[in-house]
Amino acid sequence: MRADARDNRARIMTAADEVFGQSPAASTDDVAKLAGVGIATVFRHFATKTELLEAVLTLRLERLRDRALQLAGSADPGAAFYEFFTQVVSESASKLAIAEALTASGVAAAGEEARAAGHGMREAFDGLLTAAQKAGAVRPDAHFPEVYALLIGSSRGATAARLDAETRDRMLALVYDGLKPPT
Amino acid sequence: MRADARDNRARIMTAADEVFGQSPAASTDDVAKLAGVGIATVFRHFATKTELLEAVLTLRLERLRDRALQLAGSADPGAAFYEFFTQVVSESASKLAIAEALTASGVAAAGEEARAAGHGMREAFDGLLTAAQKAGAVRPDAHFPEVYALLIGSSRGATAARLDAETRDRMLALVYDGLKPPT
DNA sequence: AAATATATGGAGTAGTGACTTCGTTTACAA
DNA sequence: TTGTAAACGAAGTCACTACTCCATATATTT
């Protein structure tokens, strides 16, 4: 691939991340304009709009997985789990796409790459959960599916309701109280 | 209004409730076809698609408010609160529109009628919450905004993740543990 | 610096969906 | 039962958006 083509590809990805982050229904033209390229260039790099969306989705999921893996190395597994949870929910509030990505990652319909990225991210989160449970920071009878559902729900709830930071934190405090082991 | 016009209006509302319940992006044609009328008839009763969506939204919110008011008469305020919460989340799983309605009701942008309906429904829910707190079934330091956010989040999470009934109940068990007063 | 393969952007094409027009039909009053 | 105002549906208009074509421009190789 020629150097200018590679540059443009990166610019398009960044623009798509931004544009679709605000509204997944945005048009391909919007992405092209923000990236400063013609429409044709977008479609040369991503054959369909769906393919572009999936590329953005994959990127988001990989970033989340990386953060989870990074936190997994931490000394305090309980803190690591709750910090990851909090970060995901907080960012979803400003980046709609993250909440969408989380959802799509669990529901299929996405392409091969995105599916794999979703799997990787869920595995990393499962690792955080298991470690936190072993450390006694999360009740041991909570299973992955409902905890993941809680993560999705909290994200989408915070996003959809446009919660201010304070209310969001109070909501998370309630959620965390439900996750902590009975005293 | 002529009798046949009134009939058709009702048929359109029912069809819209069904169609938009499955996908809010559905077209007006779909609604007209399901209602068994021509497109023009839909637009004669509802000047824009938005107006039709708002009518459906209002209907949903009024139904939820009615159910909350009905439960408010119950002898056990704690049970009433949790039953309402559970019902809303369970139904959202099959009716996308409820989750959307809840969201929209808190975020503005909706028309006057829908806004009023949203207000009424939130007030009714607030009534359930306060009564449950007085009865000692919900921790007294939880405020309405975060509890409502939790309701929205649980609904949207269950809907988005397409949870099966069992996982959904386990998720709600975690949420309820966070809402109950510390022992 | 010339040759050439690679990339580019803007003007098209096709399909969809919200909304309108208008000739026809139907409910209702006299 | 007949007149008429109200309501109807089918076919259109218009705007928008995903996607394509092609003449032009640019990177790279020798």
- Please name the amino acid found at residue A95: K
pLDDT for the residue numbered B99: 67
Statement: the CB of B48 is under 7 Å from strand C? yes
For A72-95, the pLDDT digits (tens) are: 999 999 999 999 999 999 988 777
Residues of A at the B interface, defined by Cβ within 8 angstroms: 103, 106-107, 142-143, 145-150, 152-158, 160-163, 167-168, 170-171, 173-179, 183
Q: How far is A112 from B143, CA to CA, in rounded Å?
A: 43
Q: Which amino acid is at B51?
A: E
% of chain A surpassing 90 pLDDT: 74
Distance CA B95, CA A183 (A): 38
Within 10 Å of residue B38's Cβ, how many Cβ atoms?
A: 13
- Of residues B162 and A172, the one with the higher pLDDT is A172
- The string of DSSP letters for B9-73 reads HHHHHHHHHHHHHH-TT--HHHHHHHHTS-HHHHHHHSSSHHHHHHHHHHHHHHHHHHHHHHHHT
- Pick the residue with more confidence: B90 or A107? B90
Under 8 Å CB pairs connecting chains A and B tally to: 111
pLDDT of residue B102: 65
The set of strand C positions with any atom below 7 Å of a protein CB reads 6-12, 16-22, 26-28
Q: What is the pLDDT of residue B41?
A: 98
pLDDT for A131 beyond 90: yes
Who among B146, B147, B170 is closest to A146 (CB)? B170
For range A39-50, the mean pLDDT: 96
* Per-residue buried b or exposed e for B142-176, using 16+ beta carbons within 10 Å of the residue's own CB: beebbbbbbbbbbbbbbbbbebeeebbebbbebbb
- Candidates B156, B167, B171; nearest CB to A157: B156
Cα–Cα dist B153/A170, whole Å = 13
Q: What does the alpha-carbon distance between residue A170 and residue A168 come to, in Å, rounded to a whole number? A: 5
Which single residue has its CA nearest the C1' atom of nucleotide C7? A5
pLDDT computed for residue A42 by the predictor: 98
Query: What confidence tier does A105 reach under pLDDT thresholds 50, 70, 90?
Result: low
Q: Is nucleic acid strand C under 7 Å from A136's C-beta?
A: no
Q: Which of A152, A161, A179 sits opposite B107 (nearest CB)?
A: A161
What domains are defined for chain A? Answer: 1-47 (1.10.10.60), 50-179 (1.10.357.10)
| Whether A170 and B143 lie within 8 Å, measured CB to CB | yes
- What is residue B110's three-state secondary structure? coil
- Better pLDDT: B11 or A21: B11
Res A102: pLDDT: 67
Q: From first to last of the 183 residues of chain B, give the pLDDT tens digit.
A: 899 999 999 999 999 999 998 888 899 999 999 999 999 999 999 999 989 998 998 998 999 999 999 999 999 999 999 999 999 999 887 777 766 766 666 655 678 888 899 899 999 999 999 999 999 999 999 999 999 999 999 998 888 888 899 999 999 999 999 999 998
A38 touches strand C (CB under 7 A): yes
> Are B106 and A161 inside 8 Å of each other by CB?
yes
Contact indicator for B121, B58 with CB cutoff of 8 Å: no
Full 3-state SS string of B51-68: HHHHHHHHHHHHHHHHHH
Query: In the prediction, which pLDDT does B101 show?
Result: 65
User: Residue for token digits 């931490």?
Assistant: A74
Contact, B179 vs B115, CB < 8 A?
no
